[in-house]
Structure 1
Amino acid sequence: MSSAGSAMAEAPHTRRSRTPNGAGSLRPYRGQYRVKVTVTTAGGQQQVSRVVPTEAEGRLVLAQLLADHSRGLLRSPSTLTVEALLRELVESRRAEWKPKTLANNEDLIRLHLVPHLGAVKVQKLRAQHVLQLYTLLARSYSPSLLRQVRAVLRQALQLAVVNDVVPRNVAKDVDLPTARTSRRSRQNRALSSAQLQDFLQAAAPFEEVAGPVFHIAGLLGLRRGEAAALRWEHVDLDQGILHVRDNLVVVRGRPTPGTPKTQAGDRTVPLATETVALLAAWQGRQRALGVMVGEKWVDSGHVFTTLRGTPFHPDRLSTLAREFGTQAGLAHVTFHGLRHTSASLHLARGVPAEVVKTWLGHENVNLTLNTYRTVYSHEHRLHVTGMSGLLQQGPVNLTLDTLRRVGT
C-alpha cells in the first residue's frame, strides 16, 4: 500500500461537531430570511426558527432570540403551548391587522381558544382536539363565530409550520360542524320596496335634522361605519359621485377611524340626479342648523351629523334602525339589512351583478349573489310561463317582455 494510502487508512474518523448551545444563524429562505437558534434540551438539541421578510428584521429577531436564550427565556419547540403560539401570532400580525380585527382576534383567543386549547403543546395538538373545540362551540355560538375561531387557529398553526415547530397544520383540513339554520337567520334580511318606503317614512323626521343617512344606506348599501364616516369632501355634487374612503369602526365600544373593510370597499359610486338634489338640499339645511346652534356647533365636515355637528356613533345608527323599523311595523330591520335591501332591489330591477358588487364594495360577485340577494315573490310571478312559452326559442322576445313588465 502506498504511503498516501497508509496515511488515509490510519487517519482517525472525524466526527461532525454538534452545534453549540445558543448558536444562531441568519440565511435567505424562499425570498425571505430564516433565523435559527440552537437550544439544548434533555432530549437533545432542537432549533428555534423564525421566518421574516427582510434581512434587517432578521438581524433584530436573531438578536432578540439570542438575548432570550441567554436569560433562559427561549423555549424549545417541544415546550411551545398553543397559548404561547397564539401570542406570537398576535405580535407578528399586530402592525398588519386593522384595529377592529386585532381587538376581535384577541377576544376570540382569550374567550374561546385559550380556555380550551391554550395548555396543549403545539407538537401534541391533533385534529381531534380541533374538532372537539368546534363541536363544543357550535352548541352555543353562531357559525360566523366558529369561522372566525377557525381562521385564527389556522393562521397560528401555519406560523408554527413556517417556523419548523410542526410539520403540518392539523387544523387545515378540519371542517366545521354542520349548523342548523336558525329561524331568525332564515328570515329575509332584505326589505321589499314597499317595506323600505314604510321604513324611510318612519325615519323621515330624524333625517330632517341629521341627514338622509337611511335613505343613502338603503340606496347605495353603505355599511354603518362608512355612513358614519362619510365626509362632504368625498361627495362631488357637481359630478354626481360619492367616494367611500373612510370607515368608522367600533373597537371595544369606542368609534375608531379606519379604512373600508376590504380593498374593494374603497370605491366610487355614481349618484342619480334626484340623489344629488337630496344631498344638496341637506347640505344647505345642515349649514343653517350650524348657524342656529351657534358656538356649540362642531364643524366636523361629516355628511350625517348629530345636533352638535359631530359624527354618529355607528352603534347609535344600528339602534335607530331598529327603532324606526319597529315604528314601521318591521321588527326585523337592521342597519346592515339595508345593505342587503340595496343589493336585492337593484338586482331585481335588472342591474348587472358585477355593477351591484362594485357599488357595495364586494370583492367577489358570489358574495353579492349568494349572501346579499333576496329573490322577491313578484320576481317569481314575473317569469312564470306555460309549456308553450318554455318551448319557444325566442330569448329576445322574452327579454323584451320582461323589460316591459319591469317598466324600463
Structure 2
Amino acid sequence: MADALIHPLDGIKVLDLSRILAGPWCTQTLADLGAEVWKIEEAKAGDDTRGWMPPEIGGESTYFQCCNRSKLSVAVDLRQLKGQELVARLAEQADVLVENFRKGALERFGLGFEQLRARNPRLIYCSISGYGRTGPRADEAGYDFAIQAESGLMAITGEPDGNPMKHGVAITDLVTGMNATQAILAALIARGRTGRGQHLDIALFDSAVALLANVASGHLATGRAPGRFGNAHATVVPYQLFDTADGVLALACGNDQQFRALCQRVLGRPEIADDARYVRNRDRVYNRETLIPLLAELFTGQSTSKWIAALREAGVPAGQVRSVPEVFAALDTLERGLVHEVPDPVHGMLRMTASPLRFSETPVRTPTSPPRLGQDTDDVMRRMLELARAEEPEGGLDHHSLRANEL
C-alpha cells in the first residue's frame, strides 16, 4: 500500500510571483502534487483577486479561494530593496519560480531570469504573459476576455445567428495555467538529466490558439473559415442539445454504431438509421437540416430521465443539462470525492473542489485552506534563513538584514 505521506512533488519548492488566475492555477496544481508553494503578495492588498467579490464568504473573495489552496502567503514590498533581497534569497532555495509580471518589471527588481540564474543555476523560471516574452506585443498586458476574442475562440462559440460568445469561465487563463504546469513538470525531468534549470515562456494567446484544435487543423488544411454551431458540433451529427417533455438532454453520438443504436433501441425508428441520407456521419453532417428536426420532435415525447436511462442502456452517450447546484449535489460528484471540506481558522470549514488528479502510489496532498495575506511571512523567512545559515560559511551572510516587519 502506498505511503499516504509521499506525494509526487514532495521536496520541491515553488516561488509564486503570479497573481489573478493563470499563474495561481498552475502553482495550485503544483501544491496539490506536494510542492511547497511560497505565494509572494503585495504587502498591503495582496493578490488582486482578494478584492474580487461578490461572491464572498465573511468578507473574503471566493474567487481567490478557487486557485490558492495549500499555499503559504508571504507579504513583501518589492519596491523596497529588502523585499527584493528576500525574494532573491527565496529563489536561491527554490526549484521553480512562476511569475506573470509585465515584461522587464522583475529585471528592474533584480529578479529576472538571468539575474536569478546566476544565483541558482538549477532554477526553473516560468514566465506567464498575455502574448509571450518575444514578438511585437510582448510589452502588452493580456486578459482572458480579450484573448478569447483575438484567438478565434469567441468566433466559434455561440449560436449561428447570434453574437460571438465567451466561455463561461476564463478558459484561456485556465488552459495556460495547465500548460505552464506541464512545462514545469517536463523541465523538472530535464533538470534531472542536465542539472540545469531553464526559462519557460508560456502565453495566453499561444495557449488559446492551440486550443482551437480540430477547428484550426480544418482551416489550415482547407482555407475555409469555420462558423458557429451553438450547442451542435461542426463535424459530428447528432451531437447537441434536444428538448424533452420536461427539460433538456445533451446527446453525443460519436459514431455510426451509436447512431444506429439510438434509432433502433432508443427511438424505435430503425428506418431513420437505414435512410441513405443518414447512414454515415458524413451524410448526417450534410443533411442535418432534415435529420435534426425529426429527432427533435421525437425527443419531446418523453421525460429527460426516461431518455437518459434508455440511452445509457443502449450505450449511446448522453447527459442531463445540470445547474451548478445540481452538479455538486449529484451522486457521481460525491462518490468521486470532488468536494473537500477543509478546516479553516476563520470560517470553521470551507467547502472547495478537489484536485482532479488521481495517483495509485503517490496521491495528491490533503488540501489546506487558502492563506490570509502574509500569514506565513515570518515562518517562511525564518526557515529560509536557517537553511541559508546552514549552507553559508560563517560570517558569509547577514542574517539580521531582513526582518519580517520591514517587508
TM-score, normalised by the number of residues in structure 2 = 0.19
TM-score, normalised by the number of residues in structure 1 = 0.19
Task: Kindly indicate whether structure 1 or structure 2 has the higher relative contact order, using CA contacts under 8 Å at least 6 residues apart.
Answer: 2
Specify which structure has the higher proportion of helix: 1
